[in-house]
Amino acid sequence: MKKELLELKDKIVIVSKNRSVEEIMELYHQGFRIFGENRVQELLVKAAGTPKDITWHLVGHLQRNKVSKVIGLCTLIHSVDSFKLLEKIEKESKKQNIITNVLLQVNLALEDSKFGFEEIEVPDIIKKAVVFNHILIRGIMVIGPNVDDEKAILDVFYKGYDLYNRCKEIKQPNVCINTYSAGMSSDYKLALKANSNLLRLGTIMFAKESA
C-alpha cells in the first residue's frame, strides 16, 4: 500500500463491501480500525466476524426498516438522506438509550443521484432536528460527480466544504460538526485538497501492490 495512505490512517474509512474477512484482517494488521459497509446485512456479518475494536460505519443508503439493526453497532451513519430517516434513528436510539452519530448526505454533484439532501435545505434540516436528543449530527457526506473533469470534481468538494463550515455555525445541543466525509478511490486526492477529513476508500485499499 502507498505510504501516503498508511499515514492517513485516522482519516480513512475502509469500505469493505464485497471483501472477505481475511482481506479486512490484512488491513487490520496494518493498523486500520475504521471500516464501512454500504449494506446493513453485510455490515452485520462482517462485524460479527471481526475483532471488537473495529469501528464500523454505514456509508450506503439506509432503509428505515433496517435502522434498528444498526443502532448501537454503527459508530457513524454517513448516509442520512431524509428527515423521516432521522426520526426513525431517534426512535430506535431512544429505545436503546444511546446517542447515534450521523452525517447528512448531500447531493452536490447535481446528477440524478437518488439519495441525499439538496444543499439549500441542509441548515433547516439540522435546525428542525433539534428535537432529537438521541442523535448527534457530526457533519456531512458528499459523493463526487462521476466525471473525468478534475476541476468539476474539485468544485463539488469545495462546495461541500463551504456547506460544512456553514453547518458548523449552527449552535444547538445535538450538533457537533467535525466531520466532512468526501473522497473515494478515484478522487480522494481532490477531496483532501478541499479539506475532507474522512475518506471512504475501497478499491485502492484492497489493491495488490503493483510496484
CA torsion 76-86-105-44 (nearest 10°) is 40
Distances (CA, A) of 33 to 92, 162, 168: 26, 29, 27
Residues 98, 61: Cα–Cα separation, whole Å:
22
- Of 21-29, 131-139, 160-168, 183-191, the window that binds ligand PLP (rule: CB under 6 A) is 183-191
- 136 in helix, strand or coil? strand
Distance separating alpha carbons of residues 194 and 174, to the nearest angstrom: 26
Nearer to ligand PLP, 60 or 139 (CB): 60
Strand partners, 175: 137
N- to C-terminal Cα separation, the chain: 10
DSSP states of 82-129 as a string?
A: -HHHHHHHHHHHHHTT--EEEEEEE--S-S--SSSB-GGGHHHHHHHG
Min dist CB 94 to ligand PLP, Å, is 27
Q: Which position among 11, 17, 39, 64 is part of the footprint of ligand PLP (CB under 6 A)?
A: 17
> What is the per-residue binding string for ligand PLP in 52-91, x denoting contact by CB under 6 A?
-------xx-------------------------------
Between 132 and 190, name the residue whose CB sits nearer to ligand PLP: 190
Site for ligand PLP in 184-203 (CB under 6 A): 184-186, 200-203
Count of residues near ligand PLP by CB under 6 A: 13
| Chain position whose Cβ is nearest to ligand PLP | 202
Which residues between 18 and 57 bind ligand PLP (CB under 6 A)?
38
> Residue 116, interface with ligand PLP (CB under 6 A)?
no
Which residues of this protein are in contact with ligand PLP, per CB under 6 A?
15, 17, 38, 59-60, 184-186, 200-204
